[in-house]
Amino acid sequence: MERLLLLGNSRWHWADVGPQGLHCWHEPPPVAAPAWGALRAWAAVGPLPSAGPPPPQRRIDLAQVPLQQLPAWLGIDRALVGWRAWRRQGHGVLVADAGTALSLTWIDAAGRFRGGRISAGLGLQLRSLGEGTALLPRLETPAAGLSDALPAWPTATEEALLQGCVQATAAAISAAWRQLSAPMDPPCRLWLTGGDAPCLAPLLRAGGIELEWAPDLALEALAALPAVGLIS
């Protein structure tokens, strides 16, 4: 069994690769360093553990992601999801990675990085509003499907916060996709991934956007990289 790891800002993202494909799970960083013997490859956008970090020779960096025009500052997570979505789609893609941060990454039909946008993810918005104001509560990321149950114009403060942040995040994704898709033939395809995706997908689809929802796109990309070669 081969194992993959992406160290995120708030969670570690794991995958075991076996005969049945990828088995993925996500968890907070462990207190003690895990055993690294089965680790085939890893990448990081979050902090490395101070005690017992992963083996450096198995680290994947931007040079191993086969996209064109990748700037040196780009996060490896954005490069991974952009490459995998573009490779699977076959033409231009906009990838919305809705995690701690909402990152939007545009890869054109020729496999070139064309830019992107970064804003606060749902959980970060909710926590910041609670911490930065005197009267608003500090909330966590809403559960999947909660936006469907919320009233469109809440009268309760907590529901107003949840609805406002979910709607704002979905609107940012929708506006970016519409800017890119209108002048293109075939239209730029939206791919959605990250922990907040279950809250956002229904709103985006209700707004008329066809999208590809790929919960474990970054780990799938790690497994498919030519330098790793665990899946096609």
| pLDDT tops 60 at residue 152 | yes
- Please, which pLDDT band fits residue 147 given cuts at 50, 70 and 90? low
pLDDT at 186 over 90: no
What counts of helices (H) and strands (E) characterise the chain? Answer: 6, 9
Task: Give me 56's structure tokens.
Answer: 């450096």
Relative to beta strand 113-120, strand 211-213 is unpaired
Amino acid 232: pLDDT = 86
C-alpha distance from residue 64 to each of 74, 110, 157 (Å): 13, 18, 47
Q: Is the bond preceding residue 151 a cis peptide, omega within 30 degrees?
A: no
Report the mean per-residue pLDDT for the chain. Answer: 92
Does residue 175 have a pLDDT over 60?
yes
Segment 137-141 long-range contacts (CB within 8 Å, at least 24 positions apart): 137/161, 141/195, 141/196, 141/199
Whether domain 67-216 has CATH 3.40.50.150: the reply is no
Mean pLDDT, range 38-53, rounded to an integer: 91
Element (H, E) at 104: strand 101-107
| Mean predicted confidence (pLDDT) in 17-21 | 89
Q: What is the DSSP letter of 121?
A: -
* Predicted confidence (pLDDT) per residue in 73-82, tens digit: 999 999 999 9
Q: How confident is the model over 99-115, as pLDDT tens digits?
A: 999 999 999 999 999 99
User: Does the pLDDT of residue 12 top 70, yes or no?
Assistant: yes
Q: What are phi and psi of 122, to 5 degrees?
A: -60, -50
The DSSP string of 21-69 is: EEEEEEEPPPSSPPP-TTEEEEEESSPPPSSSPPPGGGB--GGGS--BS
| Structure tokens that stand for 151 in this block | 């009233």
Q: Which residues pair with 12 in a beta bridge?
A: 7, 27
Active site members: 77
CATH 3.30.420.40 maps onto the chain at 67-216
180: tokens are 């890119």
